[in-house]
């Protein structure tokens, strides 16, 4: 029995080996998760009640910890003009330094805000986003649970995470996160074209899904199942093209605006490259850009070593989490909401609650400290000194790297795959060896030939077209 089983029994836990499949229906298993998710997002909206009442103005929003990019971008970006305004190039058009799909969703929602004064409009916009974010997170939780039906209780890591109170209403990242969850679910159901289409739309919403696609490519190289990966990449190209073609015709400047802004900016909040600035010596924008590009290369290299070098093949979610984590901590900025990208991946990896809470605890501390630091820029006697913010920033970075290390370590400690076609009989099994193709452990367990589902043995339910594929390429390091 794994170390997390006692905690899970309090919330139902996974079915035992000999339990009836009808003991708990799917709604009875996943329904409580959805209720808890909705409750946590509602608490996040309630936590921002001061800003809803008084507005998102000045340093007051920092002292109350209720800052959100969404009302600010609504005002600055002229989003009351709706999607038509975002596609327009004339005077009064909507403008956002966001990837085009995220910008399109934000402007589309802005078109539903009724006329009124600025405060009332921002309240409406924030409220509409709260409803949309809750719906997207409910979908993400459902898809995460459905992606690993034999380990459905691991989805509680997402559904009950304290992070859902803090960050979903800070920005529009929930759009891309939901698309990645849908893409991984589709891949696990052996629908590579649909998976690629959804991940491609995710790329149009944020760039991090590119690393998820790279994880599939690396595991495709290891398994030799490149045909399925190619279909996924073609689907991704179709998804990106479907969005970009619309903007190439109507508003080509929107396609590159976010990336041009990224290229010229200096180190932002949460970035390790901001630490020299906090200590009195800022890095030039060009140096920060170079370091961020090197960080992306390091993330890709780490993913390649992980995917191709471990004795037992890691899962798609594990490889993706490691790469996304490295990209986040080496990026030009690491805002509080960016950690939302790790949360579903951590649940799909089956991260233990202890490790999850270590990471989220550091996230919560940093969440509180970043607002005190920003507030202190206008009222130094009340705020957090820059050197102290640097310490909390590094604490958060260390926690994210710890999470990635735990995922890597867990995968690396698994025993190697058995000889092809053979599986050692367990207690009570017949004396002869039975053929159990790699990747079909759920069927083997059902017939008493494979590992106990309550053991630490890992069945990759997201393997999709990699299921039962032998390793074609395995790189031995050292």
Return the pLDDT at 416: 60
- Cβ-based neighbour number of residue 218 at 10 Å: 24
Segment 431-437 long-range contacts (CB within 8 Å, at least 24 positions apart): 437/468
151-210 pLDDT, tens digit each: 999 999 999 999 999 999 999 999 999 999 999 999 999 999 999 999 999 999 999 999
If one compares 91 and 231, the residue with the highest pLDDT of the two is 231
57-88 pLDDT, tens digit each: 888 899 999 999 999 999 888 898 888 888 87
Q: Where are the domains of the chain?
A: 25-412
CA distances from 172 to 43, 143, 452 (A): 18, 19, 41
If one compares 450 and 416, the residue with the highest pLDDT of the two is 416
Return the pLDDT at 394: 97
Q: Which of 90-94, 313-317, 423-427, 463-467 has the highest mean pLDDT?
A: 313-317
Q: Do the Cβ atoms of 68 and 56 come closer than 8 Å? A: yes
> Which three-class secondary structure string do you get for 183-229?
HHHHHHCCCHHHHHHHHHHHHHHCCCHHHHHHHHHHHHHHHCCHHHH
274-289 pLDDT, tens digit each: 999 999 899 999 999 9
Q: Do the Cβ atoms of 266 and 285 come closer than 8 Å? A: yes
**pLDDT above 80 for 132:** yes
Helices (H), 251-352: 253-264, 275-278, 285-309, 316-329, 342-349
Confidence of residue 19 (pLDDT cuts 50, 70, 90): very low
**Angle formed by the axes of helices 69-76 and 118-147, to 10°?**
130
Return the pLDDT at 122: 94
Q: What is the spatial distance between Cα 406 and Cα 404, in angstroms, rounded to a whole number?
A: 5
CA distances from 63 to 60, 68, 383 (A): 5, 13, 9
Q: What is the spatial distance between Cα 321 and Cα 299, in angstroms, rounded to a whole number?
A: 10
**Confidence (pTM):** 0.86
């Amino acid at each position: 029995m794994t170390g997390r089983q006692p905690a899970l029994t309090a919330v139902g836990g996974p079915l035992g080996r000999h339990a009836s499949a009808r003991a708990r229906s799917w709604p009875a298993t996943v329904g409580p998760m959805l209720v808890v998710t909705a409750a946590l997002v509602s608490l996040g909206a309630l936590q921002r009640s001061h800003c809803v009442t008084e507005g998102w103005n000045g340093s007051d929003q920092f002292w109350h910890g209720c800052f959100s990019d969404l009302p600010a971008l609504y005002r600055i970006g002229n989003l009351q003009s709706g999607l038509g305004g975002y596609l327009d190039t004339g005077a009064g058009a909507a403008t956002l330094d966001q990837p085009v799909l995220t910008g399109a969703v934000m402007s589309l929602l802005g078109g539903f805000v009724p006329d009124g004064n600025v405060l009332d409009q921002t309240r409406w916009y924030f409220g509409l986003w709260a409803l949309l974010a809750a719906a997207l997170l409910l979908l993400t939780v459902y898809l995460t649970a459905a992606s690993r039906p034999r380990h459905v209780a691991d989805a509680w890591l997402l559904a009950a995470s304290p992070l859902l109170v803090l960050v979903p209403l800070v920005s529009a990242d929930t759009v891309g996160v939901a698309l990645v969850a849908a893409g991984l679910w589709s891949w696990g159901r052996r629908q590579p074209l649909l998976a690629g289409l959804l991940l491609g739309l995710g790329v149009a919403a944020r760039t991090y899904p590119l690393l998820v696609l790279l994880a599939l490519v690396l595991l495709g190289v290891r398994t030799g199942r490149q045909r399925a990966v190619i279909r996924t990449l073609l689907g991704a190209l179709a998804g990106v093209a479907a969005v970009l073609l619309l903007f190439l015709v109507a508003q080509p400047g929107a396609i590159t605006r976010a990336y041009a802004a990224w290229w010229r900016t200096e180190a932002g909040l949460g970035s390790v490259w901001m630490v020299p600035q906090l200590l009195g010596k800022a890095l030039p924008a060009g140096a920060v850009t170079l370091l961020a590009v090197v960080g992306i290369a390091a993330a890709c290299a780490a993913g390649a070593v992980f995917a191709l070098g471990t004795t037992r093949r890691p899962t798609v979610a594990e490889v993706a989490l490691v790469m996304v984590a490295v990209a986040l901590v080496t990026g030009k900025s690491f805002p509080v909401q960016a950690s939302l990208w790790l949360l579903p991946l951590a649940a799909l990896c089956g991260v233990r609650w202890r490790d999850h809470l270590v990471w989220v605890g550091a996230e919560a501390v940093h969440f509180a400290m970043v607002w005190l630091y920003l507030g202190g820029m206008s009222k130094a006697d009340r705020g957090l000194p820059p050197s102290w913010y640097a310490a909390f920033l590094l604490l958060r970075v260390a926690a994210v790297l710890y999470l990635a290390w735990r995922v890597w370590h867990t995968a690396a400690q698994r025993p190697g795959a058995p000889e092809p076609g053979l599986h050692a009989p367990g207690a009570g099994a017949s004396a002869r060896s039975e053929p159990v193709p790699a990747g079909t452990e759920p069927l083997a367990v059902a017939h008493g030939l494979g590992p106990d589902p309550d053991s630490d043995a890992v069945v990759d339910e997201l393997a999709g077209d990699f299921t039962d594929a032998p390793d074609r390429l395995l790189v031995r390091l050292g």
